[in-house]
Amino acid sequence: MKKHTIKMTAAFLMLAATLGSCTKGSKGDTGPQGPAGTNGTNGTNGVVNVHSGTVTLTASNWSYNSSYWEYSSDVADVDITTDVVDNGTVSAFIQNSTGVWEAMPLTIYSTSTQSYTYTYQFYSGGVTFFFDVSDNSTFSLATVTFKVVAISGTTRKAHPNTNWKNYDEVMAVVNNSAPAIR
């Protein structure tokens, strides 16, 4: 026990001497600048390979296909690349009459017997929007604004907890700074 106490006392004295020799602040001389370090890896502050844009379609932008009883409109989008199609995803939203963005596909029930459905399909270089009326009637289309978000595979994997159909979560990733679709 006596040896243990002596060892503990010696260890404590060495620790006190070491800590007591440290100085705080700028009491000593400043040495020369060291060599520059290597660049670190990219952080998660920015989001690359996520592109967002809006497009407004008027009645004249839609074509009616009587074989499918639906309207469609093709929109070119250079941000929807082969990588996005193969490994990523595209989310589309429609702006409702109160200015709120809603995820697509979206079905609106106008009456108990009639509904309207907006859907979309994406491909390398563009997106096609579809508008279907449940009773297969022709319809006079109003002006509609869509938001399209193209997400690369690497970005999608880097944000595994993002619900890509939730406008607020998608915009949190995108940072809502993208231009309109070209």
pLDDT tens per residue, range 128-179: 999 988 877 767 788 999 999 998 888 888 888 888 888 888 888 876 434 4
Distance CA 75, CA 78 (A): 10
Task: Residue 90: name the closest of 56, 128, 47 by CA.
Answer: 128
pLDDT value for 182 = 38
Task: Residue 177: name the closest of 53, 32, 17, 22 by CA.
Answer: 53
Q: Is the pLDDT of residue 39 over 80?
A: no
First vs last Cα of the chain: how many Å apart?
82
pLDDT value for 154 = 83
Q: How many CA atoms lie within 13 A of 62 on its CB side?
A: 24
Average pLDDT over the chain, rounded to an integer: 79
175 to 40, 64, 137: CA distances (angstroms):
24, 36, 40
- 65-71: long-range contacts, CB 8 A cutoff, minimum separation 24: 69/132, 69/133, 69/136, 70/130, 70/131, 70/132, 71/130, 71/131, 71/132, 71/139, 71/141
Of 37-41, 50-54, 171-175, highest mean pLDDT: 50-54
pLDDT value for 178 = 44
Question: Which has the higher per-residue pLDDT, 28 or 55?
Answer: 55
* DSSP3 helix / strand / coil % (the chain, rounded to 5): 25, 30, 45
50 to 10, 21, 77, 117, 132: CA distances (angstroms):
61, 54, 13, 27, 29
pLDDT value for 117 = 92
Distance CA 30, CA 22 (A): 15
Read off the tokens for 9: 């006392």
pLDDT value for 176 = 42
In the chain, % of residues over pLDDT 90: 38
Secondary structure E strands in the chain: 50-57, 63-65, 70-76, 89-95, 101-103, 106-109, 115-123, 126-133, 144-151
Q: Is the pLDDT of residue 75 over 70?
A: yes
Distance of CA 160 to the CA centre of its chain: 10
